[in-house]
């Protein structure tokens, strides 16, 4: 099983004439939904606020086939984000997170996974204390018997603390698999080419590093191989949730191959990596053709027949 740990966020999306509509999102939740829709056995570990949105988050996860046994009911409210969408479909966010349920993890609230489980950490919950500290201890405690995957999915708010980059490097070193975007890399290390950071990370702990390039595709790196795959051509509604769909597809593709172990990840060669990346890029592209965080199903990806750039 794959356990995704992190936040659910209400995205407030422009609806025209100065109006906003609410859409259910949050990077880790989107990843869990994407992986479940693609057929992976996935559970979500999240703290849900006791408000209308908290109930809606649970309903979304259930409807997508996500195992909800590790959801925790919390007294705090749900997190909010105001999304702005540029003419090219690129999304930017302003967050309202103070006191939100998602970031208050305590050690005893996190599940005790059986050996062989994949634990996925991501996004704001991996950086904002006090919950980030509990999540990091959880991953470190279980790393010897589980596969740890990590998607920093960085936002400026995640880098406001003086130790944010130190935490980023610790989580990368702890993980067996890291997926990051060029935007993540540039935000964290603006003076270093993203691919250079990806190569450095590969030698600091992970067995596989995947770097996504948005509309330009993705690159995968292991000690045994490298692959670069272009992105399919699609008509973009917005990019909300595209990176999360990519992460869900990556977890699913590796699960199907039985490759979610440190040894299997390390042994992936260039041809296998290219095949995995084509699936990842197809899922991400399909997430861009409809508004909001609405990742595709396995049937939709199989039927897409998308063409690379």
Cross-strand partners of 2:
42, 118
Whole-number percent of the chain with pLDDT over 70:
95
Predicted confidence at residue 157, as pLDDT, reads 85
pLDDT at residue number 83: 72
Cα distances from 40 to residues 33, 78, 118, 137, 256, in angstroms, run 10, 27, 11, 26, 8
Concatenating the DSSP letter of every residue in 3-58 gives EEE---EEEEEEEETTEEEEEEE-HHHHHHHHHHHTT--EEEE-EEESSHHHHHHH
The encoded tokens of residue 55 equal 């109930």
pLDDT of residue 93: 72
Q: What is the CATH number of domain 2-304?
A: 3.40.1190.20
pLDDT one-digit tens code per residue, 118-156: 999 999 999 999 999 999 999 999 999 999 999 999 988
In the predicted model, is pLDDT for residue 87 greater than 80?
no
pLDDT at 20 (0 to 100): 75
More confident residue, 25 or 44: 44
| φ, ψ dihedrals at 96, nearest 5° | -120, 100
Q: Which of 68, 54, 67 is nearest to 26 (CA)?
A: 54
d(CA 127, CA 161): 9
Least confident range of 77-91, 192-206, 267-281: 77-91
Of 211, 221, 149, the residue nearest 181 (C-alpha): 211
Rounded to an integer, what distance in angstroms lies between the CA atom of residue 284 and that of residue 34? Answer: 10
Strands 208-212 and 42-45: unpaired
Strand segments (E) across 37-168:
42-45, 47-49, 72-74, 79-85, 91-96, 118-122, 147-151
Does residue 160 surpass a pLDDT of 90?
Answer: no
Q: What percent of the chain has pLDDT over 90?
A: 75
Domains of the chain by residue range = 2-304
> What is the spatial distance between Cα 147 and Cα 116, in angstroms, rounded to a whole number?
7
Q: What is the pLDDT of residues 104-127, one digit of tens each?
A: 999 999 999 999 999 999 999 999
Q: How far is Cα 176 from Cα 170, in angstroms, rounded to an integer?
A: 12
Tokens of 75: 């007294």
Identify the band that residue 285 occupies on the pLDDT scale cut at 50, 70 and 90. very high
What spatial distance separates the first Cα and last Cα of the chain, rounded to whole Å? 34
């Amino acid at each position: 099983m794959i356990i995704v740990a992190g936040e659910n966020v209400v995205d407030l999306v422009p609806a025209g004439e100065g109006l906003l509509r609410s859409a259910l999102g949050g990077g880790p939740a989107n990843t869990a939904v994407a992986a479940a829709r693609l057929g992976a056995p996935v559970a979500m570990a999240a703290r849900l606020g006791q408000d209308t949105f908290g109930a809606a988050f649970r309903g979304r996860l259930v409807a997508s086939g996500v195992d909800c046994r590790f959801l925790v009911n919390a007294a705090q409210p749900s997190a909010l984000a105001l999304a702005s969408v540029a003419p090219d479909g690129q999304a930017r966010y302003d967050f309202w997170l103070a006191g939100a349920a998602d970031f208050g993890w305590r050690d005893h609230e996190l599940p005790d996974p059986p050996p062989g489980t994949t634990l996925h950490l991501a996004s704001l919950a991996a950086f904002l204390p006090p919950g980030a500290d509990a999540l990091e201890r959880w991953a470190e405690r279980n790393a010897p018997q589980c596969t740890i995957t990590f998607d920093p999915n960085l936002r400026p708010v995640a880098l406001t603390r003086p130790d944010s980059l130190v935490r980023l490097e610790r989580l990368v070193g702890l993980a067996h698999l890291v997926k990051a975007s060029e935007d993540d890399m540039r935000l964290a290390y603006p003076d270093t080419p993203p691919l250079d950071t990806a190569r450095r990370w590969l030698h600091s702990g992970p067995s596989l590093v995947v770097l996504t390039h948005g509309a330009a595709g993705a690159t995968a790196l292991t000690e045994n191989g490298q692959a670069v795959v272009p992105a399919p051509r699609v008509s973009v509604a917005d990019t909300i949730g595209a990176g999360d769909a990519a992460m869900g597809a990556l977890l699913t593709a590796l699960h199907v191959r039985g490759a979610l172990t440190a040894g299997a990840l390390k042994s992936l060669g260039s041809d296998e990596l290219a095949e995995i990346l084509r699936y990842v890029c197809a899922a991400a592209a399909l997430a861009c053709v409809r508004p909001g965080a609405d990742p595709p199903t396995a049937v939709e990806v199989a039927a897409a027949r998308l063409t690379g750039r």
